[in-house]
Amino acid sequence: MEDTNREMRALQHAYWMSISEEERLRRCGGLFAMAKQFIEARAPRGLSEAEKKRFVFKELYGFEMPERPR
């Protein structure tokens, strides 16, 4: 939100600080879940579950999912 002016940033900060920590966490979790659903919906068709997970991870975090050691 680097393009938001100072006044709006202050209003937004005041709003977020006025709600409980639990409510902030719940809302952020909901936004993350919604973003994940949007990404899954636009994933290329025909991907395996593993490929779909890798696609979603890359879209959310901006880099490839690290390989798990076996």
What is the per-residue pLDDT across 10-56, written as a single tens digit (0 to 9) for each? Answer: 999 999 999 999 999 999 999 999 999 999 999 999 999 999 999 99
Start-to-end CA distance of the chain, whole Å, equals 40
pLDDT score at 68: 83
pTM score, two decimals?
Answer: 0.70
Going by C-alpha positions, the residue among 1, 20, 21, 17 that lies closest to residue 9 is: 1
Q: Name the pLDDT band for 4 (thresholds 50, 70, 90).
A: confident
